[in-house]
Structure 1
Amino acid sequence: MILPIVMVLIMYLLLPAALLRSLWKGSVQSRTEWYVKLLAIALFFVWIFFSGRWDWVGYPLRWIWAFLFLAAAFASWKKARRLPAKTSLSRKQKWSIAVYAFLALIFGTYNLGVLTSHWPADEALELSFPLRSGTYYVGQGGSQVQMNYHSTHSAQRYALDILRLNRLGTRAKGLYPKKLTQYEIFEDPVYSPCTGKVIEVRDDLPDLTPPQRDPENPEGNHVILTCDGDDARLLLAHLKRGSVSVKNGEKVKEGQRIGRVGNSGNTSEPHLHIHAERDGAGAPLRFGGRFPVRNDLVKN
């Protein structure tokens, strides 16, 4: 539990602050050196803005960092514009330019993955959103691993992990609490995203204390549906024990309550996992014509 907290603090607080200080206060000898440095830092902030997990530290913080980057870039440019375009470089400066050029290449590649994750390559399943109790956040979503770690598995390529945000824009009270009720989404009602038929149900697995997992029962308590007019299997997973209100073989209507969000199965914390598959391959999900990716919000 300590490692993810440390990583969050470094990635979303310490590293952005250090890079902004370097851009604002750091010294360069030429505009060329400044351009390379600015490009690398800008690409880092673009990458973290779109692909960062802002539900951990507060969704508004992504906008604060964006504003501070623009302010630091402007302040830095006011100094750099007076410098010569080129100048003879010391060995230290050559290494600095090489490092920033390498970082620009890395984060440029990352951002390409972020961009392409917004466009699915397969026919989407049109659904209604299965949650209705507040502001929901897409923690994992998209067609590329930069935005969705599920995409490395064929059947879950377009899977979504959905959480709920509180007034501070975080998913829980604290960074990684053990108490399930401190997670905003825990026990939220889950509704059928389509009219169709229930083809599988499980409801007897315990809700685990984070970070405990149950890899032997990855879906945990769950409901699998087939929607009318489509042969895709639609899974809604990690439901609360004893909350599932439908039975195998039952016909369900869109908007009918089918359970509550829990923390059962192979899950790190309470959230709703949803994905569809056709013949073992993942199918994209659209809600109101929208293909959700990480950092998207749905307000219901």
Structure 2
Amino acid sequence: MISTYCIVPLYLCIKLWKNRSEDLFAWTLLATITMVYLTYMYRVGAWAMVPTGYYWRDIVLVALIIVMIKSFFQKKRSLLPGWCNIRNLLALLFVGFVCTTQTMGLYYSYKSAGQVPVGVELDFPLKNGLFYIVQGGNDPLLNHHHEVNAQKYAIDIVQLNPLGLRCNTLHAEELRHYNIFGQTVYSPCNGRIIRLINGHENFAPSVMISDHPAGNYLAIQIDDSDRFVILAHLLKNSFLINENDVVVKGQPLAKVGNSGNTSEPHLHMHVVETLANDLLFDEPGVPMRFNGQFLIRNHVVKR
């Protein structure tokens, strides 16, 4: 992950910055692959999940713009004699393949973002902080839950500190190192608690329990609706409500934990259409909007 988000972008930017060749063909290939790769990563990368933090994303974008402008005006270039050779053609094919696949990924990502049904309007379930969407969107590139029917529009949320880091240490070995661990979860809607699962332990970071994927979780039936909100990976014995309780928007419910099939503390949230089958996997997923916004990866919510 460090290489994808840090080493490769730095290498490409430095190489383009220092490029003083008069070979227009070679410069065009380097500039194209640099621009496409960094634009692709800017859109689909989970930037808060690397040690450099979320704001590294914007630093890389600014660096790309500066390097592209500087390199473009640095030297007059032209096609050199004999540029059309096997080596250059192979390089062109490689760059063309990489750029085509990544450009198509970007196209479908932006296209799918504009094809989201209206869904349901909810309050954001966390307060008093800066929160980052790790997984979210109408596209498997941005949301690894997308292929699961019930979780098609699910979001995973972590909390950032003022430096854009999700942990308060570079090498987080304990749950308390994660900013979101132990944060209060608030009801995103008026409704009734129709399911509450407690009793699953919190495990150390990177210890994932596939037998109980949601860990401790609760399901809220939205008032005057057959739709249900699921909030998962909650802290054992942190629940402030019981099954069948009526809750209102903004009411404290529980705390964020690290129970279930999760590599680190975060809050998982999704909405399903009915209660006929499995709330976690099989029911039809429903898009969620917060203040009218459909949240996707790299969105940041300040509360």
TM > 0.5: yes
- Structure 1 segments of 4 or more deviating over 4 A? 27-30
- Assess if the C-alpha contact under 8 Å between 1:128 and 1:288 holds in 2: yes
Name 1:156's counterpart in structure 2: 151
Distance 1:91 1:47 in 2: 28
Residue 281 (str. 1) matches residue 284 (str. 2): yes
Residue in structure 1 matching 2:9, options 16, 21, 28: 16
- Deviation of the 1:120 alpha carbon: 4.5
Name 1:118's counterpart in structure 2: 113
- Higher mean C-alpha displacement, 132-141 vs 224-233: 224-233
Distance 1:87 1:121, change over 3 A: farther
Name 2:200's counterpart in structure 1: 205
Distance 2:209 2:114 in 1: 32
- Higher mean C-alpha displacement, 214-223 vs 108-117: 108-117
- Higher mean C-alpha displacement, 16-25 vs 114-123: 114-123
Name 1:53's counterpart in structure 2: 46
- Deviation of the 1:204 alpha carbon: 1.0
Distance 1:227 1:273, change over 3 A: same
- Assess if the C-alpha contact under 8 Å between 2:226 and 2:273 holds in 1: yes
Residue in structure 1 matching 2:253, options 250, 258, 265: 258
- Assess if the C-alpha contact under 8 Å between 1:29 and 1:87 holds in 2: no
- Assess if the C-alpha contact under 8 Å between 1:41 and 1:104 holds in 2: no
- Deviation of the 1:130 alpha carbon: 0.5
TM-score (norm 2): 0.91
What amino acid sits opposite 1:50 in the alignment? R
The CA RMSD measured in Å over matched residues stands at 1.8
Name 1:44's counterpart in structure 2: 37
Residue 139 (str. 1) matches residue 134 (str. 2): yes
Structure 1 runs not aligned, ≥5 long:
1-7
Secondary structure of 1:109 counterpart: helix
- Assess if the C-alpha contact under 8 Å between 1:47 and 1:114 holds in 2: no
Residue 298 (str. 1) matches residue 298 (str. 2): no
Secondary structure of 1:152 counterpart: coil
What amino acid sits opposite 2:77 in the alignment? L
- Higher mean C-alpha displacement, 227-236 vs 184-193: 227-236
Deviations 1:17-64 (A, max 9, x none): 111123223465543543343232211111111221121221111111
Structure 2 runs not aligned, ≥5 long:
275-282
Name 2:278's counterpart in structure 1: none
Distance 1:87 1:200, change over 3 A: farther
- Assess if the C-alpha contact under 8 Å between 2:17 and 2:71 holds in 1: yes
- Assess if the C-alpha contact under 8 Å between 1:140 and 1:161 holds in 2: yes
Aligned length, in residue pairs = 292
What amino acid sits opposite 1:76 in the alignment? S
- Assess if the C-alpha contact under 8 Å between 2:19 and 2:27 holds in 1: no
Secondary structure of 1:248 counterpart: coil
Deviations 1:52-86 (A, max 9, x none): 11212211111111111112112221245x22257
TM-score (norm 1): 0.92
- Assess if the C-alpha contact under 8 Å between 2:218 and 2:230 holds in 1: yes
Distance 2:195 2:81 in 1: 69
Deviations 1:135-164 (A, max 9, x none): 000000101011110001111010000000
Secondary structure of 2:94 counterpart: helix
- Assess if the C-alpha contact under 8 Å between 1:43 and 1:111 holds in 2: no
